[in-house]
Amino acid sequence: MNDLKRSLSEAASAAFQAAGLPPEFGRVTASDRPDLADFQCNGALAAAKSAKRNPREIATQVVEILKADPRLSSVEIAGAGFINLRVSDEALSVRAREIAADARTGAQVLDAPRRVLIDYAGPNVAKPMHVGHLRASIIGESIKRLYRFRGDEVLGDAHFGDWGFQMGLLISAILDEDAAIRALVEKLPDTAAGADPADEAALNAELDTRIALADLDRIYPAASLRQKEDAAFKERARKATAELQNGRYGYRVLWSHFVKVSRVALEREFHALGVDFDLWKGESDVNDLIEPMVGQLEAKGLLVEDQGARIVRVAREDDKQDVPPLLVVSSEGSAMYGTTDLATILDRRQSFDPHLILYCVDQRQALHFETVFRAAYLAGYADEGSLEHIGFGTMNGTDGKPFKTRAGGVLKLHDLIEMAREKARERLREAGLGAELSEEQFEDTAHKVGVAALKFADLQNFRGTSYVFDLDRFTSFEGKTGPYLLYQSVRIKSVLRKAAEAGATAGEIVIGEQAERDLAMLLDAFEGALQEAYDKKAPNFVAEHAYRLAQSFSKFYAACPIMSADTDALRASRLALAETTLRQLELALDLLGVEAPERM
């Protein structure tokens, strides 16, 4: 069941071929002038240049063939050889009925689905998420949903930062601060073998009582600052990191507690934002792979000694900028950040064997990923082109710089979500919405409005661009905002409820009025928007479609009475259009990670 653009492209391609020209010139696009035509084909101009013929002559041949297509009410030549196509009301009615009867409202499934892993969010142990995590979480979640909806087998991985020097800093700081925990840690042997389970239980009980996420949030920044000024503390933290990674039992118990309390809080914050993961694999999960991987790299002749360190050179002769080597083992003998990323690719190959891995990370990390990806290709851990960095810009304040609190600090994501909720409550009351809801329902609606405001404000932009954070504008129920989309969704639900109460039901769609045509054309454009978003890994195409669909329904509702339609058949047709619009709008919103309330 192709959309009109694709099926008309096939017809135009056949017409060009019948005229003795390559079929690829028959590409049809949505018209730049919808007041004149629904679709246009500009291929005659390109074909004329290739064939050294007059473009209007070619267009005339093609038009004569297309005029026989019963789906088209008019086929006309404009200007130098542009071909304008207008779909008949009957053909548009048939297409609208197909969309209405389809559970996916016209969205197709891939012919050749793939296994795709999406790495996004990147939360860390002991660090509450801040506003910088927002874009990675929102964009990555939407791309995951989009790829899954299209038919791919998709896993979303939080890529949990649970290893490395910050763990040694935490361990050292807590042992310095808390004598009771230090005594229990020192009571445990170096390895789990021969350990008394009661001693581990006692340590865990103490940790559960004394070390919550708020404590880690306090301790880590102080420890990070201290190591810059206290060389002895820094060295102890380095030693603690090495002992942890080598398996020291007491430190592993501490580390497990850090991971547990961090993850519980992080999952709560992510879920509140409508973001959930299939995997919470951390850097620690690939620790045991690093040593054998280094051996493999050496056996393949890829490791090179460089000033005491060991590197993989990845630069190519045709590089237009310097691409640094991947530092695999430092001069001190430790594995580096890029080494862990390389081992993670190997782990993903062994556990899931994806056709494609997408990394949804700040675009400022582009060179790092280019280095890691090239090393992975050289090592045979991934096929060329199967690793892709999905970069994004920053969320800025009104000063054009990355968004900060009024005090100049980094805003925690929890606080940002609460700001959006509070503003949503205020907006709902200003608009006189939600007055009939219970307190619990009102709070649920305010949360959905707040999250929709944050997400749509981000996703309506192409991911590579930066944008200015303006909560007042984002939470408005007017204009191109998430709350506006939710309001239109709730409005359609209200119309359908009233129709059901009156015993009215949907029926066969028959297009006649211009507002009906416009709405049906947008319903047909859903597949095209999904295809663009999928190919470009860019949810803004879905966001744009959702907004245009909501706008079109608003115009349709104003121009085409539903319950007071002239005939029962017309009322049934318009109810069917309303139902189909709601289903497609909610599908699009779900792909953006936005949930609409039932009432406002």
Asked if 185 and 69 sit in the same domain, the reply is no
Q: Could you list the residue range(s) of the whole structural domain that residue 333 is in? A: 115-124+132-156+280-395
**Residue that is last in its domain, among 272, 305, 333:** 272
pTM score = 0.93
Asked if 362 and 250 sit in the same domain, the reply is no
Residue whose token pair is 């074909």: 47
What pLDDT does 489 receive?
A: 98
DSSP string, 349-397: HHHT--SEEEEE--GGGHHHHHHHHHHHHHHTSS-TT-EEEE----EE-
What number of other Cβ atoms are within 10 A of residue 236's Cβ? 19
Residue 101 lies in a domain: no
What residues are paired with 127 via a beta bridge? 124
Asked if 268 and 303 sit in the same domain, the reply is no
In order along its 600 residues, the chain shows pLDDT tens digits of: 799 999 999 999 999 999 999 999 999 999 999 989 999 999 999 999 999 999 999 999 999 999 999 999 999 999 999 999 999 999 999 999 999 999 999 999 999 999 999 999 999 998 878 887 899 999 999 999 999 999 999 999 999 999 888 999 999 999 999 999 999 999 999 998 888 999 999 999 999 999 998 899 899 999 999 999 999 999 999 999 989 988 999 999 999 999 999 999 899 889 989 999 999 998 999 999 999 999 999 999 999 999 999 999 999 999 999 999 999 998 878 888 899 999 999 999 999 999 999 999 999 999 999 999 999 999 999 999 999 999 999 888 888 887 876 666 778 888 899 999 999 999 999 999 999 999 999 999 999 999 999 999 999 999 999 999 899 999 999 999 999 999 999 999 999 999 999 999 999 999 999 999 999 999 999 999 999 999 999 999 999 999 999 999 999 999 999 999 999 999 999 999 999 999 999 999 999 999 999 999
Asked if 436 and 537 sit in the same domain, the reply is yes
Asked if 377 and 424 sit in the same domain, the reply is no
Residue 405 lies in a domain: no
Residue 107 lies in a domain: no
Token pair in block for residue 528: 């095209």
The dihedrals phi and psi of 397, each to the nearest 5 degrees, come to -85, 180
What pLDDT does 582 receive?
A: 98
Asked if 180 and 261 sit in the same domain, the reply is yes
What pLDDT does 249 receive?
A: 96
Residue 108 lies in a domain: no
**Residue that is last in its domain, among 395, 425, 445:** 395
Residue 319 lies in a domain: yes
Residue 598 lies in a domain: no
Asked if 150 and 285 sit in the same domain, the reply is yes
CATH of the domain at 366: 3.40.50.620
Asked if 431 and 558 sit in the same domain, the reply is yes
What pLDDT does 404 receive?
A: 73
User: Distance (Å, rounded) from C-alpha 363 to C-alpha 139?
Assistant: 13
Counted domains in the chain: 4
User: Distance (Å, rounded) from C-alpha 474 to C-alpha 481?
Assistant: 6
* Three-point CA angle 230, 233, 235, nearest 5°: 110
CATH of the domain at 28: 3.30.1360.70
Residue 461 lies in a domain: yes
**Residue that is last in its domain, among 225, 245, 272:** 272
Token pair in block for residue 269: 């914050």
Residue 462 lies in a domain: yes
CATH of the domain at 445: 1.10.730.10
What pLDDT does 58 receive?
A: 96
What pLDDT does 245 receive?
A: 86
Asked if 35 and 73 sit in the same domain, the reply is yes
- Give the chain's count of helices (H) and strands (E): 22, 13
Asked if 583 and 507 sit in the same domain, the reply is yes
Asked if 33 and 136 sit in the same domain, the reply is no
Asked if 348 and 379 sit in the same domain, the reply is yes
Token pair in block for residue 592: 């953006």
What pLDDT does 48 receive?
A: 94
User: Distance (Å, rounded) from C-alpha 265 to C-alpha 275?
Assistant: 13
What pLDDT does 407 receive?
A: 64
What pLDDT does 211 receive?
A: 94
User: Distance (Å, rounded) from C-alpha 126 to C-alpha 224?
Assistant: 12
What are the CA-CA distances from residue 290 to residues 159, 294, 338, 449, 553 (Å)?
A: 17, 6, 11, 45, 56
